[in-house]
């Protein structure tokens, strides 16, 4: 397995102990000595409390173009951060102990086996390793706590991360960051499923699928609606195992929460939004109906006006034809026979 390792040892703040003592004077009273001892003890306890309340340090990773700081929002202290490049086969063979305290990589076993092979086999393995393409390799971030517990984040292209934050949820670690496009993304550590010690009442913070497996491509067993109550019984990185009635499956961790107040607020906001949308739709429908009625009234008025004009035109008598008749006596006189629209006939001499 090819590795490109960048290690940064995180400094751990250790509160300095103070020796609070004073030589007793020969003439000091017993009461004074007891007072000084009490004050010294109180001061020591105060310093211990301050040290205990000190926030864990952020994680620093040295990159080629500068350090990357991962803001630590957990209560854990990390002593080492390591970047490893490994191929898909190595990543697939990597396993975790159930208690999560020890990470065992099959790559280590492979290295042990390789050491026991012949020189020819070693050279062949080296040649094969050199043929790994960039597409076969992925970068993993390995974090080690001061207690020795190891956490592995696969597919961690930290070079493109900005504003990364590490946080703890139900015993699993997540890192939220912004990618090169400015989109908020999240990567979870690699770990095995854990069962909760007791059932946890949770609420859907969105309409979300309960899936058969902890995989977004897995079959959907049912769909929770915003505000639905479920029982959390376990977790795996990225997913919460829940029970809803007689259905047991997995919900993506971002869409269920124990915070009922926040979900109630979402439900209320949705209700208000739906009511506002309904009111707006009703107002728009009323406006459309009024506009349609106004248009119909205008059309009816225009039709009535046209009919009245036509009727008036029909009632007016107008000349339809005029026919000329001569007297035939050579005088140049005669008359016109005029026919009108009402059928009447009139004569006009000329």
Q: What is the pLDDT of residues 80-139, one digit of tens each?
A: 999 988 665 555 455 444 344 333 333 333 333 433 443 434 344 444 444 444 445 678
CA gap 318, 325 in Å, rounded: 21
Q: What is the pLDDT of residue 263?
A: 96
Q: Is 329 exposed, middle or buried (0-12, 13-18, 19+ CB in 10 A)?
A: exposed
Instruction: State residue 50's pLDDT score.
Output: 52
pTM of the prediction? 0.58
SS3 state of residue 43? helix
**CA-CA distance, 168 to 78, in Å (whole number)?**
13
What pLDDT is stored for residue 41 in this prediction?
54
State CA 307 to chain mean position distance: 65
| End-to-end C-alpha distance for the chain, whole angstroms | 126
Look up tokens 């795996």; give the residue. Answer: 236
In Å, how far are 64, 266, 268, 302 from 280, measured between CA atoms? 56, 21, 18, 33
Domains of the chain listed by start with CATH number: 7-15+31-188 (no CATH), 194-258 (2.30.30.40), 319-349 (no CATH)
Bridge partners for 244 per DSSP: 247
> Residue 214: which of 246, 257, 253, 173 has the closest Cα?
253
Q: At what angle do helices 119-130 and 106-116 cross, to 10 degrees?
A: 140
Residue with tokens 């086996």: 113
Four-residue CA torsion sign, 160, 163, 166, 170:
negative
Tell me the pLDDT of the chain (350 aa) as tens digits. 444 444 443 433 333 333 333 333 333 344 444 545 555 555 555 555 554 557 889 999 988 888 999 999 999 999 999 998 866 555 545 544 434 433 333 333 333 343 344 343 434 444 444 444 444 567 899 999 999 999 999 988 899 999 999 999 999 999 999 998 999 999 999 999 999 999 999 999 999 999 999 999 999 999 999 999 999 999 999 999 999 999 999 999 999 999 999 999 999 999 999 999 999 999 999 999 999 999 999 999 999 999 888 887 777 777 888 888 887 777 778 888 989 877 888 888 88
CA pair distance 118, 254, nearest whole angstrom: 51
> What confidence score (pLDDT) does residue 313 get?
74
């Amino acid at each position: 397995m090819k590795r490109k390792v960048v290690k940064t040892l995180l400094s751990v703040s250790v509160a300095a102990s103070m020796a609070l003592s004073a030589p007793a004077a020969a003439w000091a009273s017993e009461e004074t000595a007891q007072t000084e001892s009490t004050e010294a003890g109180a001061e020591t306890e105060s310093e211990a409390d301050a040290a205990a309340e000190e926030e864990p340090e952020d994680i620093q990773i040295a990159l080629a173009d500068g350090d990357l700081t991962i803001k630590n929002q957990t209560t854990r202290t990390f002593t080492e951060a390591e970047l490893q490049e490994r191929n898909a086969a190595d990543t697939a063979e990597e396993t975790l102990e159930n208690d999560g305290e020890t990470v065992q990589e099959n790559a280590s076993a492979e290295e042990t086996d390789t050491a026991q092979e012949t020189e020819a086999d070693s050279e062949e393995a080296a040649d094969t390793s050199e043929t790994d393409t960039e597409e076969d390799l992925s970068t993993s971030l390995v974090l080690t706590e001061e207690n020795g517990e190891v956490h592995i984040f696969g597919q961690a292209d930290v070079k493109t991360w900005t504003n990364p934050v590490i946080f703890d949820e139900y015993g699993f670690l997540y890192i939220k960051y912004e990618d090169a496009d400015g989109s908020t993304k999240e990567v979870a550590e690699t770990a095995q499923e854990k069962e909760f010690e007791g059932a946890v009442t949770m609420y859907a913070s969105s309409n979300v699928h309960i899936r058969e497996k902890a995989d977004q491509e897995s079959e959907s067993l049912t769909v929770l609606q915003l505000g639905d109550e479920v029982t959390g019984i376990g977790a795996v990185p990225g997913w919460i195992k829940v029970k809803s009635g007689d259905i047991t499956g997995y919900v993506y961790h971002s869409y269920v929460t124990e915070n009922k107040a926040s979900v109630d607020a979402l439900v209320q906001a949705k209700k208000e939004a739906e009511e506002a949308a309904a009111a707006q739709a009703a107002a728009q429908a009323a406006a459309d109906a009024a506009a349609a009625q106004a248009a119909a009234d205008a059309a009816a008025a225009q039709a009535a006006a046209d009919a009245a004009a036509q009727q008036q035109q029909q009632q007016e008598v107008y000349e339809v034809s005029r026919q000329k008749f001569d007297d035939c006596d050579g005088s140049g006189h005669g008359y016109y026979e005029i026919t009108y629209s009402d059928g009447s006939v009139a004569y006009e001499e000329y």
